[in-house]
Structure 1
Amino acid sequence: MQTATFAGGCFWCVEAVFKRLRGVHSLTSGYAGGATENPTYEQVCAGDTGHAEVIQIEFDESLIGYSDLLNVFFTSHDPTTLNRQGNDVGTQYRSAVFYHNAEQQQLAQAYIDQHSADFDHAIVTEVTEINNYYPAENYHQDYFARNPQQVYCNAVIPPKLAKLRKLWLPLLKDD
């Protein structure tokens, strides 16, 4: 098993996308990249801790590669908007790859270098070594599956899932 950590806006949205990929063994929403130890959702949302909302993925690299995860990550959010995704604004919603080893760092940077021309604006995704990770509160875990009619989720997540099916159908679980 390998670990990957991504920040692409609201963790509810990112989690809903990645949990559908084959080879993803577990997925936990949380916080990374800040200074406060064991931050709460309220602290992170206030924008004072420096953390990003992230998902941490445990994946089986024999079933899905880190490059595949990067492809899904960069096409499931807007990596060209600084500290925001749609109406979610703040450093906690930044685009970031928190790498766990040198290979992940190299692959993330290579993706950005190779795909910059695919976007209308410059990619602002930060590529940073993971220095901390704190799981989010239990009510954030598997949020969309448990709250599919929540207004925010219902407006934002289904288009992301449709795009996932359109672009990455071979990477999806069979269920």
Structure 2
Amino acid sequence: ICSELDRPLPSHCHCSDTSRIGASVKCGVDFLHLDNIGVQADFEPCAMPAHMSLAVTDSKFHIHHTIGGLTFGKEGSYPIPGLSLHIPKLGNAGVQVAFELEGSAREAEIKVGLDACGSIDGHKICGSKVIHELPLWLISGKFSFGHICSAYEADMLAMAEAAASAPMPFAPVITDMSPSSLDGFAPLVVEGLEE
């Protein structure tokens, strides 16, 4: 998965494969020179359904917030509880994690980043409307995981076929029912049967 994701990643992000069909991208972000924020995106594009989870950490504010269950066809922003900064032109603003997951594993468009939203004259406004550096996209691009998913599916099918054709082990069967072979076994007594 990282062979696809590594190409467009900024230098402060690192991708590591967590399994054959999963990867984790970890970024340490100097957010507008105001705070260092950690963002982790865990991808499983070949899972059924394909999904992503996000984690945001901030040691200054003792924050670790996770957002899970993000699937293709979704986009949005989630405020990070307790993570608020004073941003020039915007004032006190809550930091948000922004994401877009479009398409499918074969043709995916993925964006993950940070934004900030505040209030100006009683109206909610996000940093992207005030500060051109926002949102700060950490992962942004079009990716094709189709060849990885197809190879994985073929291997899983081959393993299932091999397991289905393997002989099944059977429990031992007692074939000698002579009294000497049954020594130590208690006789079966069934009450209430008439002779």
TM tier, smaller? under 0.3
Task: Determine which structure has the larger strand proportion and give its number.
Answer: 2
TM-score, normalization by structure 1:
0.26
| Structure with the larger RCO, 1 or 2 (CA within 8 Å, 6+ apart) | 1
TM-score, normalization by structure 2:
0.24
